[in-house]
Structure 1
Amino acid sequence: MIGEAIQRAKSGKLNLDVVWLDLPYAYGSVPHEMIQLALRMYQVPEDIQVMLDDYFSEFRMRFSTSDYTTNWINLEVGIAMGCTISPTLFVMAMEVILKAAEGSAGPANLGGGCSMPPLKAFMDNTTI
């Protein structure tokens, strides 16, 4: 769909601005507060919200060398890879971002009565 939009813009000599976003280490970049916001936004039952908040409050790490080990550090960002709920939580968090951006971009007019929605997304790949 995006390729067709680019071709239509070229052939019709129209301006078309396209931004591709691909988040590096996407699962590791989701703030836990964003997850809670998404859970409230999509009206997930409160007991599930509390359970997931408890789950993420236990995300900790520490570093060790041959001479020293740090104290445990609470993590406020990141979703565990391999956890069965992680893909759903990631998509919900991305939807919060997309919904926020939705009102600031109009559809791309491709001429001939054809237009394309302003936001297209699949997991961590987003086109605006």
Structure 2
Amino acid sequence: MEEDLPEIEQLKRLEDPEQAFDELPPKWIGVVDVIKKRRAVSAPGPNEVPYKIIREEKDSKGELAIVWLDLANAYGTLPHKLVELLLEIYHVPDGIRELIKEYFNHLQLRFTVGDYTTSWQRLKVERVTGCMISAILFSAVMNMTCEVSREEEQRAMDEVRSTVTTMKVIHG
């Protein structure tokens, strides 16, 4: 069992959202629309899409964040309590947070080779390589960590400036 996280005062507590999260099941027409759009995006081929995005950002002098993950090790390194805190900070509704928690805690897998299918196996690492929700949560936790680091760096720089200013006043 994981131990509780210490209170992290640097974490930004976001304001409550203006609109409630829509937890209703998707409508069929919406599902069909998403599938059509995804197929259209993937049509050029697996390698063309990233290069197109990179080219567009370069041409527009925009910024592009790329996350390279060691898929064999990345997901098991995130403490569950940290993921739970992240979902709370981002106002993910309780029902969806519980669904994500259950997904990770009770994940099972089986596979078929030829005519043989294995029985269901509980996963020990609790994350599946290629699992979209794991990649999203990993990126979100890293983003939250970077924000805290930036704020700490800014606080330290402000302290240094204040000390230098005080020294100038004292020593002329």
What TM-score results when the alignment is normalised by the length of structure 1? 0.45
Q: Considering fraction of residues, name the structure with more helix.
A: 2
What TM-score results when the alignment is normalised by the length of structure 2? 0.35
